[in-house]
């Protein structure tokens, strides 16, 4: 059994927990200090009485561990705290457009473009904030964002997509994988969440959603690894109970069933049954389920 090695802000940290913190920092070199602190708080369930993450306390603890020579944190970045709601811009480019009706052939090629500059970031933020039913929030942990582009009859933005860090605990996902709490802690960062997927309301292109999902499943492993230093084995998404998840089914995602409606991080059952969602997953490697269950280093 692990024994307490460190005490910080009235909390004891075991050898296993300190090793986990080090593994997050070493295996995910693309994360900022804010993202690392949020991720560690989620993994260790380091929370305030109201459920909020103890991010600032965690940053202090990470700095203390760094001073002991256990690891080196990334250089400081400045930005808005993850998980916070923020104002989204409203521009002419984000206004409703004339209806676009077509087929994959009439709009080809269909491209998924990585959001890599400020202009694309602002457009992505506006479109998601205005047209996605969940709106825009700064995501917890790591994230990659994409714009969906159609080439014909003229270059057009058709939607947005976001990949981000996974939910801490989803009962049906964890049962399907066969995770114990310890193995989930070790392998959770090999799961990536499709946390936003938006096709703009004026775009009606047959099978566009399933085509986009198929494209992102083929390329996300390499891009996530290149950015964050860890290769994912599984994609997951949560679909609101008001939707059928038809596009995910068409793209061969696996329907695992419903959540308990506790929310992304509700460890203490405060919101049980409030907002159940459908859980879909998509393996990104051969035997992904077994590798996640047993912690294999072979990413195949």
The CATH number of the domain holding residue 246 is 3.40.630.30
Picking from 67, 102, 122, the residue at the C-terminal end of a domain is 67
Asked if 188 and 43 touch (Cβ cutoff 8 Å), the reply is yes
Residue at 125 is within a domain: yes
Separation CA 221–CA 218 (nearest Å)? 7
| CA distances, 3 to each of 17, 40, 63, 70 (Å) | 10, 19, 22, 18
Distance CA 228, CA 129 (A): 26
Written as tens digits, the pLDDT of the chain (300 aa) is: 445 578 887 788 888 888 888 888 887 777 888 888 888 988 888 887 777 788 888 988 898 888 888 888 888 765 555 444 556 778 888 899 999 999 999 999 999 999 988 899 999 999 999 999 888 877 667 889 999 999 999 999 999 999 998 888 899 999 999 998 888 888 888 999 999 999 999 999 999 999 999 999 999 999 999 888 889 999 999 998 777 889 999 999 999 999 876 554 443 334 444 578 999 999 999 999 999 998 644 444
pTM for the full model? 0.71
Residues 27 and 150 in one domain: no
Count of domains for the chain: 2
Domain that holds residue 150: 92-294
Indicate whether 23 and 138 sit together in one domain. no
Residue 83: inside a domain: no
Q: Is 49 in the same domain as 111? A: no
Check whether residue 21 and residue 134 sit in a common domain.
no
Query: What is the rounded radius of gyration, in angstroms, for the C-alpha atoms of the chain?
Result: 20
Same domain, 111 and 28: no
């Amino acid at each position: 059994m692990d024994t307490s090695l460190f005490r910080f802000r009235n909390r004891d940290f075991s050898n296993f927990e300190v090793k986990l913190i080090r593994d997050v920092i070493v295996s995910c070199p693309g994360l900022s200090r804010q993202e690392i602190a949020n991720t560690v708080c989620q993994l260790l369930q380091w929370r305030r009485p109201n459920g909020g993450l103890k991010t600032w306390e965690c940053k202090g603890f990470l700095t203390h561990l760094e001073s002991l020579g256990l690891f080196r944190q990334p250089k400081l970045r400045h930005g808005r705290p993850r998980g916070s709601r923020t104002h989204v811009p409203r521009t002419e480019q984000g206004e409703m457009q004339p209806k676009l009706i077509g087929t994959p052939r009439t709009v080809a090629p269909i491209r998924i473009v990585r959001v890599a500059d400020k202009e694309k970031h602002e457009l992505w933020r506006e479109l998601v904030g205005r047209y996605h039913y969940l709106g825009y929030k700064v995501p917890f942990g790591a994230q990659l964002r994409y714009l969906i582009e159609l080439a014909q009859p003229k270059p057009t933005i058709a939607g947005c997509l976001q990949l981000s860090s996974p939910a801490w605990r989803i009962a049906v996902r964890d049962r399907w994988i066969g995770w114990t709490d310890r193995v989930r802690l070790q392998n959770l960062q090999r799961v990536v969440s499709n946390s936003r997927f938006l096709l703009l309301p004026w775009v009606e292109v047959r099978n566009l959603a399933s085509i986009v999902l198929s494209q992102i499943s083929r390329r996300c492993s390499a891009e996530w690894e290149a950015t964050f230093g860890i290769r994912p084995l599984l994609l997951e998404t949560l679909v609101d109970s008001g939707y059928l998840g038809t596009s995910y089914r068409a793209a061969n995602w696996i329907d695992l069933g419903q959540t308990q409606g506790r929310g992304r991080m509700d460890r203490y059952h405060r919101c049980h049954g409030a907002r159940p969602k459908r859980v879909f997953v998509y393996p990104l490697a051969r035997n992904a389920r077994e590798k996640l269950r047993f912690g294999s280093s072979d990413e195949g």
